[in-house]
Amino acid sequence: MNNNSLSNTSHSDNRIQSIDILRGFLIILMALDHVRDYFMLNAFAFSPTDPQLTSVGLFTTRWITHLCAPGFIWLTGVSAYIYYSKNGVKKTSGYLFSRGLILILLEFTVIKFAWHFTFDHSTFVLLVIWAIGASMVLLAATCWLKQQAVFIIGIVIIACHNLFDGITFQNEALSFVWHILHQTGSSNIIDGVTIKILYPILPMFGLICLGFGMGSIFTEESIETRKALLKRVSLALLLLFISIRTLNDYGDPTTWVHNQHLYRTIFSFLDVTKYPMSLDYMLIMLSILFYAYVQIESKTLALYRPIALFGKVSMFFYIIHLFIIHTLSIISIFIVNGFTFDWKAVDVYEITSAYGFPLPVVYCIWIAILILLYPISKKYRILKSKYPNSFLKFI
C-alpha cells in the first residue's frame, strides 16, 4: 500500500474511512442541491437539467448531485455486507429490517415536516429516505441468500428494469403497487390522501443488492486489489454508458437529441432519467462513484477529516440540514424583503416561486451552512459514540 495513501480503516471506531469519506462527499453535494431548492429564485420553474432551458452553471450544479441517491444506496449495501461479515445473517437481517422501518417512519413524519413546515397529512411524497428504508427491509430478507445470488439479483434488476417502462395499470390498487415498484406517479388509494411516489424502489433495491454483493472486496487486506478492480469497472461502465446512450434506444425513457449548440447536445446526451433511476443513469453515476472511491483511497488530503465526519453522521445530517436550510431560507428572505413575508407560504415549492437569489449566492449560502453544520455534526458524533447501543445507532 502506498505510504501516502489514506488509511482505509479507522482504528478508533473500526469504520472504513474511505466509505465515510465518499458518503461525506455525497452529503455535501446533497446539501448543495437542497440549498438550491430553498434559496434559488424559481428553483422549481423548470428542470435544471432541461437541455433547452438550463444554463451551464445550473445544469452542472444539478447534474453532479445526481450522484447522491445512487451513491447512498450502493454504500448502504456495502455497509450492510460489512455488518453481516462481523455479526452474521440473523443479526444483520434484524438490523436492516428495524432500521429500514425507522427510515420509512422518519420519511412520513420528521422529514416530511422538515421539507414543508406543515402538519398537513393529505399528501405524502415518497422521497429517497423512504426508498432506502424500503430497500433495507427487502435486503433483510434477501441477505439470507448467498452473496453471489444477491449480487446477481442486483445486476439483473439494474440491467433489465427498463424493459417494463411501458407497463401501466388502470386498476387503482395495481397502479399503486406498480408506482411503488417501478413507475413514478400519484395514487389515491386512501380516501382524502394522495401519495406521490418519486423514488420507486425496484432500481434502488437493485443498487443495494449490488453494494451487498460487492461488499467482500472492502477489507483492509484487499485495498490494492479493490482499487485496481474498481478502476477497471469504472472505465467499463463509462464505455457501456456511452455505447448504450449513443444507440438512443434501450436504457433510458428519455432520448437525446441534436441541438444547434454543441453544449446543449451534450446536455441532452447526459440528461438521463433519475425518477425512477434508468439503466443509463445508474451506469454513468456508478462509473463516477467507483472512480471517486479509487481516488479517495489513493491520496491523503487534510480536507478528508471533516468530510469523513459528515459521512459518519449522514442520517443525522440529512434531518438537521433540512430544518436549518428551511429556517434560514425563511429568515433570509424575510430580511432581504424588508421584513415582509407571507408566513403562510413556507412550503419548499412556494418559497422560491416568489423569492430567492441567483446561483452564485446559492453557492455562498451552501458553504456557510456547511461551516455551521460541522460543529453540530461533531457534537452529535461524540454523543453517538458514547451510547453505541442506544437508539442513536439507527440515525
Burial tier of 209 (Cβ tally within 10 Å: 0-12, 13-18, 19+): buried
Cis peptide before 276 (omega within 30 of 0): yes
Q: Return phi, psi of residue 343, to 5°.
A: -70, -10
From residue 46, alpha-carbon distances to 55, 101, 290, 297 in Å are 12, 33, 31, 38
How are strands ordered across the β-sheet holding 193-197?
A: 123-126, 193-197, 185-190
Q: At what angle do helices 68-108 and 279-298 cross, to 10 degrees?
A: 110
Q: In angstroms, how far is the first alpha carbon of the chain from the final one?
A: 33
Alpha-carbon distance of 204 to 253, in angstroms, equals 17
> 338: which DSSP letter?
T
Q: The C-alpha cell of 170 is what?
A: 388502470
pLDDT of residue 176: 93
Alpha-carbon distance of 25 to 19, in angstroms, equals 10
pLDDT of residue 16: 82
Q: Which runs of consecutive H residues, i.e. helices, occur in the chain?
A: 17-39, 56-64, 68-108, 110-116, 128-142, 147-160, 172-181, 201-214, 223-247, 262-270, 279-298, 304-312, 314-336, 348-354, 359-386
pLDDT of residue 342: 66
Alpha-carbon distance of 148 to 145, in angstroms, equals 8
From residue 84, alpha-carbon distances to 95, 284, 313 in Å are 10, 28, 20
pLDDT of residue 2: 41
Local confidence pLDDT in tens for the 395 residues of the chain:
343 444 444 444 556 889 999 999 999 999 999 999 999 999 999 999 999 999 999 999 999 999 999 999 999 999 999 999 999 999 999 999 999 999 999 999 999 999 988 888 888 999 999 999 999 999 999 999 999 999 999 999 999 999 999 999 988 889 999 999 999 999 887 888 899 999 999 999 999 999 999 999 998 788 899 999 999 999 999 999 999 999 999 999 999 999 999 999 999 999 999 999 999 999 999 999 999 999 998 876 666 888 999 999 999 999 999 999 999 998 888 887 766 666 666 777 888 887 889 999 999 999 999 999 999 999 999 999 888 888 887 78
Q: The C-alpha cell of 20 is what?
A: 465515510
Residue at 266: amino acid letter: I
Alpha-carbon distance of 357 to 116, in angstroms, equals 20
Residue at 319: amino acid letter: I
Instruction: List residues bridging with 10 in a β-sheet.
Output: 15
Q: The C-alpha cell of 73 is what?
A: 444506496
Alpha-carbon distance of 218 to 194, in angstroms, equals 42
Q: The C-alpha cell of 162 is what?
A: 427498463
Are the C-beta atoms of 223 and 230 separated by less than 8 Å? no
pLDDT of residue 122: 87
Residue at 222: amino acid letter: S
pLDDT of residue 1: 36
Alpha-carbon distance of 313 to 377, in angstroms, equals 7
Cα torsion angle, 159, 160, 161, 162, sign = positive
pLDDT of residue 12: 43
Q: The C-alpha cell of 368 is what?
A: 456557510
pLDDT of residue 287: 98
Q: Where are the domains of the chain?
A: 9-394
Residue with cell 388509494: 189
SS3 call for 53: coil
